[in-house]
Amino acid sequence: MQNLVTEVIGWLEEAGEKIKESFKSEIEVAEKTSAKDLVTNIDKQTQQFLISKVNAYNPQAKILAEEEGYNQQDISQGQVFIIDPIDGTLNFVLEKENFCIMLAVFEEGVGKYGFIYDVMKKEIYWGSKQFGVYCNDRKLPQPKDLLLSEGLIGMNAYMHGNNLFNTLAIGEESKGIRCSGCAGIELIGILKGTRNGYISNLSPWDYAAGSVMLDIFNFPYSGVNGKKLAFEGREYFFAGTPQTYQRVMTLIK
């Protein structure tokens, strides 16, 4: 197990350096579903790099990833690597910060390892049941079980602006909302105690790595309907401290 952690951290660090090197040249940007939903040549190259590392490590491993035809994969059998090559592509293109690489390892449908790499801060949040949750080599303490009214809620800006699932009331009861445009950044916030919840519309590669580490802290997460995540297609997602989760689910209903 330690060998896999060391391997993946090495892959992420190398991928991060490649991404930073790309800032020296012109990035090719294309629209997927809209002008706000972008993909770049760097997303694709980063995914290809990570898949090559996975294939060398375990040729039998399956891949679920965002780009280039890897976006559908049953995770219930075998070892599955779930990859988001650049989470927060719009931030990557326009800000050159506030984006992450995310990778999770599932075995027989169970999350075993999660990794979220804040590339520009050079901070890798990673965890497994055996080791706990870390930022680089520093073990993170159990976050406080904050009430909704005691902290900040990360939100999808569209959901808040259109009051989907009563998000205006949720935000009003909290200390405030934050819309970073990056699931990895928001999930990191929950892990280190600077967010007490996050509500958004996500795909499996957006929440897989974070869900592994939320499990270690016994922090609940689900679809906004309270059902188990499907790991297929986009779905409305909520995670938080136990007390925040309970209150938000009441407000949503």
**Residue 110 pLDDT more than 80?**
yes
User: What is the average pLDDT value for the chain, to the nearest integer?
Assistant: 95
Q: What is the pLDDT of residues 160-177, one digit of tens each?
A: 999 999 999 999 999 999
Every domain of the chain and the residues it spans: 2-139, 148-252
16 near 46, Cβ under 8 Å? no
How far apart are alpha carbons 155 and 160 in whole angstroms?
7
**Residue 106 pLDDT more than 70?**
yes
Asked if the 2-139 domain carries CATH number 3.40.390.10, the reply is: no
Predicted pLDDT at 69? 85
How far apart are alpha carbons 227 and 229 in whole angstroms?
6
Predicted pLDDT at 143? 97
Which pTM does this prediction carry? 0.95
**Residue 90 pLDDT more than 90?**
yes
Tracing tokens 């990833």 back to the chain, one arrives at 65
The CATH fold of domain 148-252: D-Maltodextrin-Binding Protein; domain 2 (3.40.190)
Predicted pLDDT at 201? 96
2-139 and 148-252: identical CATH topology: no
How far apart are alpha carbons 199 and 69 in whole angstroms?
27
How far apart are alpha carbons 194 and 151 in whole angstroms?
7
Q: What is the pLDDT of residues 12-66, one digit of tens each?
A: 999 999 999 999 988 998 888 888 888 889 999 999 999 999 999 999 999 999 8
The alpha carbon dihedral of 141, 143, 144, 145 has a sign of negative
- Dihedral of the alpha carbons of 116, 80, 196, 245, in degrees to the nearest 10: 170
How far apart are alpha carbons 174 and 179 in whole angstroms?
14
Tracing tokens 């391997």 back to the chain, one arrives at 7
